[in-house]
A and B are shown apart, each in its own frame.
Chain A
């Protein structure tokens, strides 16, 4: 680059000759030089700004285009990061203790319509009403030709129905995939399983949610994707549950009862092997809850865990066991049973007059109300409360089905000494058959508290001790005598050494004011086999009556006991219990040595 001199000699000389100031030329040249420098710098700055602007424009343009693209395209699963186990069932299976399926999922389809896409709405309506008789043709025509843009027709379709709907060939009829809950065994264990229905629904999928029972209780567990492939294992045994339901349904019919419940429980682990409440329902098609009438009349009502009943004389063993545990009595202590026992304006009577004195064992065997009330008097209010509380009679059972929380026992508002006396023979305190089963389990397993569970957990529970082992054994012997020589003689099952206690309680009138004369709750709580107690079975019949005799019989000994005995006969082999070898009397043959 050639620099222009600031003082060019030619111009200086010329200016000198003209008498001008030559410095002006220098200043002029400096000015020109500075202008030139300024122009160059501006140009450079401008071009830099331009480059920067273009760069920013491009960068923001890319971001903008990408955002627009992401916003406007269909969402897609990342393809390259698929995890190990793709597409699992939405809800885990439920199986019984041997892994047999109680609830599973199947894929099906829902049917919906987009009326604006329909070619022949009238024909479609007519053909649909042929396939699905419950849809009315006029209604469909109205919907299809009206302003509606979207319409659900059916939530679930069988494959045949889907094919038939497909064959209509109407482009406005569309199918959405659905996963649906199936209970392959139908009514079996309906009250335990509960049922499921659809939650949030969309064309492409629907949420399956549990509405009752185990399904609702374990909602989170069943829907947890991490555990969707491990089924939930229940303590129920399908075969045993079926046999129990069969026998109970038969017994209920024979005894003309309006309802029945049975609980079969392992005495050490607290596992509920079978839990039946009749009448029952089909969880595949769960009926709607009743809006009128008594809740217990609905088939949805679970008598075994929700039905709180006065369980009658089955409670007597608790009073006797506690008195023995406190050292107040022993099995041969004689108890005053002269009746009627007066307390204020109340009188306590026995079914028969048993004379003036009975031993404690006989009080249980003969089921003497007076005797038990006297024992309860010895125990007193506070100690009785504490004992019954330790057996779990004060709170709902912890069984893991939603309904169990509703089975809160009814306790007397003022626990007077009279309450103590009536509760000792099972009146004045209402509890569920499951409460009774877990309390009997404590007697059966040697005095440890057992909390019932519906989950498979074959390790024995180590609950707190509620009575000593000796007392538990003495109580079991008394209960055995009830069957061999007392009120439950029909309960004897050859080889299984059944022990138990009957209980017949008058039903209280719904609107208060005393008890019905001809409506009872008959209960039989049993333990078997008594030489090595393994199971507790409680059978409850609601309003049974046995009419083969001259006059109708309603006591548990005639109603609940034969049903329970038949149940044990059917169920014990299924549980793998070998009948004990009977020791027969040698038939008068004397061995002689020759």
Chain B
């Protein structure tokens, strides 16, 4: 009886040791993964910051002004002036498409069909 108890205890210890071993490695793996993700997030943020800085740099008023004057032939961009304000009724909307005139006769006998 006593030896059975000893064997069972020993097996429980082995089992727990195995469980602890596995938990430990899983934790380490999870921490590694979290660390990788954090690094990726940090890299992502850094990249985003760089892109935002680049975007702001490319959109700086000085450069846009130069581009507008370089491409004046094509774009004809002017400085925003009070004269450019307009009323809604000054906007020329595209003409409304009219449907083609009905020339063919239409069979209407089926309209009173049996149903």
Chain A interface (Cβ within 8 Å of chain B)?
79-80, 82, 86-89, 100-101, 104-107, 182, 184-186, 188, 238-239, 242, 493-496, 569-570, 572-574, 578-579
Q: A86-B38, A86-B42, A573-B80 are in contact. Are A185 and B50 (CB under 8 A)?
A: no
Q: A82-B34, A105-B49, A185-B56 are in contact. Are A573 and B82 (CB under 8 A)?
A: yes
| Least Cβ–Cβ distance between B42 and chain A, in angstroms | 4
Contacts of B64-115 to chain A: CB distance below 8 A:
79-85
B49 and A106 contact, CB distance less than 8 A: yes
Top 7 closest A-B pairs, CB basis? A87-B42, A184-B56, A242-B61, A101-B56, A184-B57, A86-B38, A579-B82
| Least Cβ–Cβ distance between A10 and chain B, in angstroms | 47
Q: Mark B46-61, 1 if CB is under 8 A from A, else 0.
A: 1001101101110111
The residue of chain A having its C-beta at the shortest distance from the C-beta of B64 within the complex is: A242
B82 and A495 contact, CB distance less than 8 A: yes
Q: Does B31 contact A (CB under 8 A)?
A: yes
Contact partners of B20 in chain A: CB under 8 A: none
The residue of chain B having its C-beta at the shortest distance from the C-beta of A107 within the complex is: B46
A87 and B82 contact, CB distance less than 8 A: no
Contact partners of B57 in chain A: CB under 8 A: 182, 184
Contact partners of B35 in chain A: CB under 8 A: 79, 82
Give 8 new A-B contacts, CB below 8 A, not counting A242-B62, A573-B80, A579-B82: A86-B38, A88-B45, A184-B57, A185-B60, A493-B82, A570-B80, A572-B82, A579-B85
Contact partners of A106 in chain B: CB under 8 A: 49-50, 53
Q: Does B17 contact A (CB under 8 A)?
A: no
Q: Which of B41, B57, B83 has the most CB of A within 10 A?
A: B57
Name B61's contact: one of A89, A104, A238 (CB within 8 Å): A238
Return 13 A-B CB contacts under 8 Å, by A number.
A79-B31, A79-B34, A100-B56, A104-B49, A104-B53, A106-B49, A106-B50, A106-B53, A184-B60, A573-B80, A574-B80, A578-B85, A579-B82
| Least Cβ–Cβ distance between B29 and chain A, in angstroms | 12
Contact partners of B81 in chain A: CB under 8 A: 569-570, 573
Contact partners of A188 in chain B: CB under 8 A: 60-62
A185 and B61 contact, CB distance less than 8 A: yes
How many angstroms from the CA of A578 to the CA of B82 in the assembled complex?
7
| Least Cβ–Cβ distance between A568 and chain B, in angstroms | 9
Q: Which of A104, A493, A496 has the most CB of B within 10 A?
A: A104
Contact partners of A100 in chain B: CB under 8 A: 56, 59
How many angstroms from the CA of A88 to the CA of B61 in the assembled complex?
28
Name A573's contact: one of B34, B41, B84 (CB within 8 Å): B84
